[in-house]
Structure 1
Amino acid sequence: MEKLMEDEVLKAFSTYAAIVIVKMMLMAPMTAYFRFTRGAFANEEDVARHGGAEEEKKKQLRTHADVERVRRCHQNDLENIVPFVVVGLLYALTGPELSSALMHFRLFAGSRIFHTVAYVTPLPQPSRGLSWIVGMLVTSSMAYKLISTVLYL
Structure 2
Amino acid sequence: MEVLSKQNPLFTLYSCHAALLVCKIIFVGFSTSMVRVFKKVTPNPEDAKFMGTKPFIGDPTIERIRRAHRNDLENIPAFLFVSFLYVLTNPSYVVAKILFWSFTIARYSHTLVYAYLPIPQPARALSFAVGLIATFIMAIQVLFYFY
TM-score normalized by the length of structure 2: 0.92
8 A contact 1:42–1:61 mirrored in 2: yes
Aligned with 1:99 (options 94, 107, 112) = 94
Q: Runs (4+) of structure 1 moved beyond 3 Å?
A: none
Q: CA deviation at 1:144?
A: 0.5
Partner residue, 1:62? 57
2:7 equivalent to 1:12: no
Question: Aligned residue for 1:25?
Answer: 26
| CA pair 62-3 structure 1, distance change in 2 beyond 3 A | closer
Query: How far apart, in 2, do the equivalents of 1:99 and 1:25 lie?
Result: 28
Q: Report the equivalent of 1:75.
A: 70
Q: Calculate the TM-score normalised by the size of structure 1.
A: 0.89
Secondary structure, counterpart of 2:51 in structure 1: coil
Unaligned runs of 5+ in 1: 52-56
RMSD, aligned α-carbons: 1.6
2:79 aligned with 1:84, yes or no? yes
Larger Rg: 1
Aligned to 1:142: 138
Contact 1:40 1:63 in 2 (8 A): no
The structure, 1 or 2, with the larger RCO (C-alpha pairs under 8 Å, 6+ apart) is 1
Q: Identical aligned pairs, as a percentage?
A: 35
Letter in 1 for 2:67: R
Q: In 2, Cα distance between the equivalents of 1:62 and 1:68? A: 9
Aligned residues: 145
